[in-house]
Amino acid sequence: MMNWSFPICLIVIKHLGKYKIGNDYKGTYGLSYKLYGLDSTNDRALERTIVLHADTHVPEKEPFPYHIYQSAGCPTVSPLFLSVLTKYIKASKKPILMWIYYS
């Protein structure tokens, strides 16, 4: 199991929980992945078009103590990290799960 800690933009608390990463498509931000919410906190993710995508505003390295911009609700990573994730997503024969939590 891979465990990564890369900067992800701030998202609204009600979208916390587990997601299954779905098919890719080209959206407003380029390559994006549909997300299927697996918890009661995010079970409408697909119909609300909550997707995983990259944005150049997300830095490659941890910005602490500074903040990253706040997304309208989608988990967003840096373009480089999305390219790393894409390799794992495309190579996997099993579903890829993603947890979003607040600590």
The tens digit of pLDDT for each residue in 21-60 reads: 999 999 999 999 999 999 998 999 999 999 999 998 888 8
Please answer whether residues 100 and 15 qualify as being in contact, where contact means their C-beta atoms are separated by less than 8 angstroms.
yes
Higher-scoring residue by pLDDT: 21, 3 = 21
| Residue 68 within any structural domain of the chain | no
| Residue 35 within any structural domain of the chain | yes
Q: Is the pLDDT of residue 9 over 70?
A: no
| Residue 67 within any structural domain of the chain | no
| Residue 1 within any structural domain of the chain | no
pTM of the model: 0.83
| Residue 12 within any structural domain of the chain | no
**What φ, ψ does residue 11 adopt, rounded to 5°?**
-125, 165
Please state the domain count of the chain.
1
Distance, CA of 92 to CA of 17 (rounded, Å) = 21
| Residue 34 within any structural domain of the chain | yes
| Residue 26 within any structural domain of the chain | yes
Question: What 8-state DSSP symbol labels residue 70?
Answer: B
Range of the domain at 78: 17-60+74-98
